[in-house]
Amino acid sequence: MIEWEAAQCPQKYQQPMALIAGTLEGSGTQTHIMELVKELGLDTFPQYNIGKKVHHMGGPGARVRTYRNSIPALSPLVLRDLTQFLWKIDRLCATVRVEDPSKTPNAVELDSVTLHSYTEKHVWTAELKEELALCSRSVFGMEPSQMSFLFFLMYAAAAGGLLPLLENTAGSAQEFKIKGGTQQLSECLAERVGLRNVRLRAAVTAIWQDAEWARVTIAAAGAAATFSCRAAIVTCPPHLAAKIHYDPALPSRREFLTQNMPVGHMIKFIITYQTAFWKEKGFSGEIVAGSSTDCPFCVTFDATSPGGNAALVGFIAGRQASQWGSKEAGQRRNAVVSSLVKYLGPEAASFIHFEERDWAAEAYSGGCPVNVMAPGLLTYYHPSLRKPCGRIYWAGTETATQWCGYMSGAVQAGERAALEVLAELRPTGLEPEE
């Protein structure tokens, strides 16, 4: 087995940020990643969520509020609106067939509208619409108008519901972090495979196949090389898989799907401090801010390491990433710090280091955290997302049926693709339950 990785490190989505502080990782319900963490002998620690959370919606002049529960301090009308919306979403999620969303009841109808269109029709209050737009940016790096409503439902259903995607409490997407950073997962796995079998800075440019072999061409150090194998598993996201030349060409449905799954836009930053002053002042470090405010980021969390290295991690996403991504790095930093001062106090101005990464500017990332589907794609093309194409097999978190878009989904997808290859090459070597 040989792994080709276009980036210079085994896990481009976490390095070097993870060296500053452990990044948001997963929950106890994300069984695939948690089993891998246990198998590799790594330790986790809970995401810090004790204290006041900051909530700023409704424009630059709107009141900055704090709250301690999972749900912000909303007016009775907005709370009723939210309760009804969550009830509707939970009922719809329960009907979604995650393995094949095209078989979901009313799939064509649900796939014909965007998340924005649905909320415009079913949500009454402007405040809740703004809250939901912020959720879309935080989770997908996209605006609600950019994705199919059925895709949104499938994504939520794969996580066990909408609330687990949004919270950092027990069972939610951000419940635990890995001590020392998530890059350890890739480092440990690379050691198991054998470092000689992991080729870094080796971008796959073409995959040729016939009845017996798949031939993978890579570009490394300015030179090209071709390797022959019985099967090739493509784990990069669809928008990057589209850049590979395939011969013979992929089936038309797979090709259309690959060409039409845009990726989210996020700029991630980590800012370190001498002390976690926000904890001393009774704050959790969690801040949520709408795009109608003058704040560049949509959300921050505490990122203090188990050893006490104080830090905050935040995300500029969706419309805000498009707006702020075109500005100078110094302008973004100053705007972030200015907002932190407004929300947490003057201590926020005395930081040690500010590090950011615009994933859209990375050649072998092109964006993050996940590729989405626009209306119409899921109903007609989704079955091609996981279906092997000859000797080419597909993995990556976008193909997962549990916690799609997260590291746990990536692990599940990798295991599934590996079993597909084994079933084809060594069918007698599998147990019945596999």
* DSSP structure string for 238-303: HHHHTTSEEESPPPHHHHHHHHT-PBP-EEEEEEEESS-HHHHTTEEEEEEE-TTSS-S-SEEEE-
Q: Is the pLDDT of residue 431 over 80?
A: no
Average pLDDT over residues 264-283: 97
Considering its fold, how many domains does the chain have in total? 1
- Asked whether the beta carbons of 314 and 300 are under 8 A apart, the reply is yes
What is the torsional sign of CA 172, 176, 181, 187?
A: negative
Residue 265 contacts residue 322 (beta carbons within 8 Å) = yes
Written as six digits, the tokens of 186 are 């890739």
User: Residues 302, 278: contact at Cβ < 8 Å?
Assistant: yes
Is 423 part of any domain? Answer: yes
- Quick check: 46 pLDDT over 60? yes
The answer as to whether 124 is a domain residue is no
Q: In degrees, to the nearest 5, what angle opens at C-alpha 397 toward C-alphas 396 and 400?
A: 105
Q: How many residues are recorded in the chain?
A: 434
**What's the chain's average pLDDT?**
90
**pLDDT beyond 70 at 113:** yes
146 domain-assigned = no
Whole-angstrom distance, CA of residue 431 vs CA of residue 267: 44
Distance (Å, rounded) from C-alpha 335 to C-alpha 316?
11
Q: What is the mean pLDDT of residues 63-85?
A: 90
Give residue-wise pLDDT tens across range 284-302.
999 999 877 789 999 999 9
CB atoms within 10 A of CB 428: 4
Better-predicted residue by pLDDT, 433 or 201: 201
414 located within any domain: yes
Say if residue 83 is exposed, middle or buried (CB neighbours under 10 Å; 0-12, 13-18, 19+): exposed
Classify strands 299-302 and 310-317 as parallel, antiparallel or unpaired.
antiparallel
Give the mean model confidence (pLDDT) for residues 127-153: 96
Structural domain boundaries enclosing 208: 202-262+370-429
CB 347 within 8 A of CB 310: no
If DSSP codes are grouped into helix, strand and coil, which group holds residue 171? coil
Q: Which of 49-53, 60-64, 361-365 has the lowest mean pLDDT?
A: 60-64
pLDDT score for 168 = 67
3-state class of 105 per DSSP? coil
Apex 245 CA angle, 239 and 248, nearest 5: 120
Token output for 113: 């509208």
Report yes or no: 290 and 54 within 8 Å, Cβ to Cβ: no
Specify the residue for token string 């101005």: 349
The reported pLDDT for the residue numbered 20 is 37
Look up residue 77 and give its two tokens.
């009308």
In a domain, 417, yes or no: yes
List, for residues 370-419, the tens digit of each pLDDT value: 999 999 999 999 989 999 999 999 999 999 999 999 999 999 999 999 99
Q: What is the pLDDT of residues 141-196, one digit of tens each?
A: 999 999 999 999 999 999 999 988 887 666 677 778 898 888 899 899 989 988 88
User: What CATH code is carried by the domain that includes residue 410?
Assistant: 3.50.50.60
Looking at the DSSP assignment, which residues form a beta bridge with residue 200? 5
Most distant pair of Cα atoms in the chain: their distance: 67
| Structure confidence by residue, pLDDT tens digits, 407-430 | 999 999 999 999 999 999 987 766
Residue 247 belongs to some domain of the structure: yes
Domain membership of residue 340 (yes or no) is no
Are 323 and 338 in contact by the 8 Å Cβ rule? The answer is no
Measure CA 209 to chain center. Answer: 31
What pLDDT is attached to residue 291?
79
Least confident of 19-28, 138-147, 299-308: 19-28
Kindly state the tokens that stand for 117.
């269109």
Residue 14 above 50 pLDDT?
no
* Residue 48 maps to a domain: no
The predicted structure's pLDDT at residue 430: 67
Q: Which H helix or E strand runs over 381?
A: helix 377-381
